[in-house]
């Protein structure tokens, strides 16, 4: 069974606060030694069957992008509306994480947090389609 561990409480000018529920707060120990986090969250505004049945999209944030399958995009409309964001950890205050660059809206439930490990998570030789090079970071 899926359990949410927290919620995005505020998003203002690129700075977001994430409240981790009290029962998961002990899991934050040592997290402050990392500069970046991988944050998995639930696209709670896309829970309906309409959003979960989308299989082809035109990535809106990438000008000139072709229609692609949902699994070749970062669209929030997908069979399982799970979002992923690599965010900079600014500080931790008790059970509140302050991060920069989170691509989630207020009220988004948090599924999991993992430390970003450049050795394991970055691939300099990764190949992507040309259209992904246009538009904002996702």
Q: Which domains does the chain have, with CATH numbers?
A: 6-117 (2.40.30.70)
- What is the residue whose two structure tokens read 């692609």? 68
Per-residue pLDDT 10s for the chain (138 aa) are 999 999 999 999 999 999 999 999 999 999 999 999 999 999 998 878 888 999 999 998 888 899 999 999 989 999 999 999 999 999 999 999 999 999 999 999 999 999 999 999 999 999 999 998 888 776
**pLDDT for res 47:** 78
CA distance 128 to 82: 21
CA distance 41 to 81: 9
Q: Is 70 helix (H, G, I), strand (E, B) or coil?
A: helix
């Amino acid at each position: 069974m899926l359990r949410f561990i927290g919620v995005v409480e505020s998003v203002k000018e690129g700075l977001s606060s994430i409240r981790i529920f009290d029962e998961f707060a002990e899991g934050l120990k040592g997290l402050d030694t990392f500069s970046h986090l991988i944050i998995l969250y639930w696209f709670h505004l896309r829970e309906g069957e309409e959003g979960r049945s989308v299989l082809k999209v035109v990535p809106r944030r990438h000008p000139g992008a072709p229609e692609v399958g949902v699994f070749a995009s970062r669209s929030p409309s997908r069979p399982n509306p799970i979002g992923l964001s690599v965010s900079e950890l600014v500080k931790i205050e008790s059970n509140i994480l302050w991060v920069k660059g989170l691509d989630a809206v207020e009220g988004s439930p948090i599924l999991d947090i993992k430390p970003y490990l450049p050795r394991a998570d970055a691939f300099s030789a990764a190949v992507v389609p040309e259209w992904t090079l246009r538009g904002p970071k996702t």
